[in-house]
Structure 1
């Protein structure tokens, strides 16, 4: 399967700021260089106790990071669906029908309004409850129907993150490898560094060595130097 990224309008769903870079940083770099449009729909961000040096990051800090990353990857637009603490790390407490409506039609970057050609979402086997909720909402919103009545992106993918491998039912390897140039890998690493509150030294699932090692592993599996792994949910030829 080959994709002419210059012709694509890509919509990436990220439960939290940094998920899009962890899962799709290389693809975003490659696609933008080719001339693609890239949009990122975030769901939640709030004040969070974390493993950063100071042990805490604020929503304002995270928004500042997003703006830097957006400029770095040259996103065409991004949107935060549910800012604040109410649903941050608690998307599983929100009615599923309301999340589906955000994804399908209510958000400025909804599938109905944006009409993307490519949709990329988290994989449902993530251990993280917010990732599971977003994955299921996107899956429901892209359910089979008459394409004349509901927009059907021709390519639907699920991205992987190193931490997802913790799940015992996540051992099925990706069935699509996007080959990356060294510059795409570097762009991904720089983007992750811009999320200063979320990047960590090795050993950590968000360390530079982890991201570079996973890129080398996925590339090797496709016979190239570097790659990103995805699961194909739909591919309309």
Structure 2
């Protein structure tokens, strides 16, 4: 599977030939400012600014239109999977240093976790040799389905759009298979091999869900935390970092 092609298929506007955001390993530099597009701000990267950023993309359909999820889609469009790894890395660092959750500002977020940190996407492979990025995509889609908003006609609509993407059969099959499966916290919890990877998968799930304001979403995240055996104080750091970065995106 080609992770870069899958991400581009998810994040580009349907029928829009312009490449937007950062895909295939080319990541912006300079902390959150770099991730969100530099001194010009996040919206300056995209014609039309923030308002049209996620509109029309497959990811925007999967995440839904609620404010928290829209910010998550915008964040992904700007920084790709690297931003998930950076958020998890910063939260994990603060947790290990026994800082209070939210003590660091989003501006201190690294554009990429350093090599050897356990959070470098290029270094992390599963037993089949797939990048951890594939697992992050799985986690986001499963979490997005946890409140049932992708059941029925909406799921069929997304599957039809997947068929129209400029992807090979393997990549299309991967996405179609994910969309056909129900939300499954247990399946996602089996993916990480380390606590660092578990933290990244939780961040991906949290970004996809947003504020977790339905009982189903809360139950999904609680089950994921329990099955991955994430310490509650680490979860507090992860939640705080996700919330801070999402707020920074929404106000850019």
Whether these two folds match at TM > 0.5 is no
TM-score (norm 2): 0.30
TM-score (norm 1): 0.31
Of structures 1 and 2, the one scoring higher in RCO (CA 8 A, sep 6+) is 2
Which structure has more strand as a fraction of its residues?
1
